[in-house]
Amino acid sequence: MERVYNFSPGPSMLALPVLEQAQKDLVCYGDTGMSVMEMSHRSKMYTDIYDQTVADLRELMAIPDSYEVLFLQGGATQQFSAVPLNLMVNGKADYVDSGNFAHLAAEEAKRYGTVNVAASSREDNYTYVPDLTKAAFSPDADYVHITTNNTLYGTRYVDLPDTPAPLVADASSNILSEVYDINRFGVLYAGAQKNIGPSGLCVLIVRKDLLGKAKDICPKLLNWEVQAKAGSMYNTPNTYGIYLAGLTFKWVKDMGGVAAMEKINIEKAALLYDYLDESKLFKPTAVKEYRSRMNVTFVTGDADKDAAFVKAAAKAGLVNLKGHRTVGGMRASIYNAMPVEGVQKLVDFMKQFEADNA
């Protein structure tokens, strides 16, 4: 069967060269005589893969030696607990509630201390990122938590905030899609299943001076200092997920790096949003100023017509366009691995659907 254009919000499509290399290596990696899935995580053959993966991510994101790079299990959601367990020294943190996952992170942190919601767009169905120049940051907060891209509602931070406490960011749905100065963050973490690799893996980048502050109740596997000292291998890590992440990092480097990916992503998003702004049938749902480049949300205003569009698109090889149940309509997730051609095919199909349903 011919491959489709997969607009899933995650797990999402992987770059074809990554899949092809994984297929080539599946039974026997290089001259090792075994699959990566069969390797001991303590063996030199695997630690070479791991070390190169870390080195490539450091190069791509210009991560200095003052930061640790960890590859952890449990995805980003597990870090909703790990963040306060590692950082809530004084028992208080600021959270910006700009979307579903930002809200869930704040709710989880309340289990471990006092959470101040410094700003929120929840009452407006998360159609924008709240203005943080008016945010009520706490002078005694241990950290400020944001979610850089709103996967469900299709919004993004256009500018990072200046915060009085270390900035902690969940960048699951836009990591490696735009250039960030990592020095702006105390901690940046991301689930892998959107721009990095398969689900079940989480990349965490933490400034070294923030280690060693974990609460006594923090489980060892969630303790970043323990994981850093063990090189992400306190227990057996997600070895194959890390290997696939490494292939993705090599692919991004081959594409020209993060800056090159950002230019392509701007082009893809503009292609789709320009059509949506002109369309008489489809309407974007996010406030224009805060539109995500990764997750484009739109509706027709008619639930039956939305459903008909999603069904017809799937038959045309454009799959997983149904919007999240809290938003409805459609959502096109156009992460790094989605080529410009896939977005163009979607736009062409939408134009035809609109003409047929005028």
Sign of CA dihedral 54, 56, 61, 63: positive
Q: What is the pLDDT along the chain (358 residues), one digit of tens a residue?
A: 789 999 999 999 999 999 999 999 999 999 999 999 999 999 999 999 999 999 999 999 999 999 999 999 999 999 999 999 999 999 999 999 999 999 999 999 999 999 999 999 999 999 999 999 888 999 999 999 999 999 999 999 999 999 999 999 999 999 999 999 999 999 999 999 999 999 999 999 999 999 999 999 999 999 999 999 999 999 999 999 999 999 999 999 999 999 999 999 999 999 999 999 999 999 999 999 999 999 999 999 999 999 999 999 999 999 999 998 888 899 999 999 999 999 999 999 999 999 999 7
* Entry field: residues in the chain: 358
Q: What is 114-155 written as a DSSP string?
A: EEEEEEE-GGGTT-S---GGG----TT-S-EEEESEETTTTE
Q: Cβ contacts of residue 285 below 8 Å, gap of 6+?
A: 127, 153, 154, 297, 298, 299, 327, 329
DSSP sequence for 247-307: HHHHHHHHTT-HHHHHHHHHHHHHHHHHHHHH-SS-EE-S-GGGB-SSEEEEE-S-HHHHH
Rg value, the chain, Cα? 21
SS3 181: coil
174-187 core/surface letters (b: 16 or more CB in 10 A; e: else): bbbbbebebeebbb
d(CA 126, CA 253): 34
pLDDT given for residue 317 in this prediction = 98
Distance of alpha carbon 121 from alpha carbon 289, whole angstroms: 14
pLDDT at 133: 86
**Helix or strand or coil: residue 57?**
helix
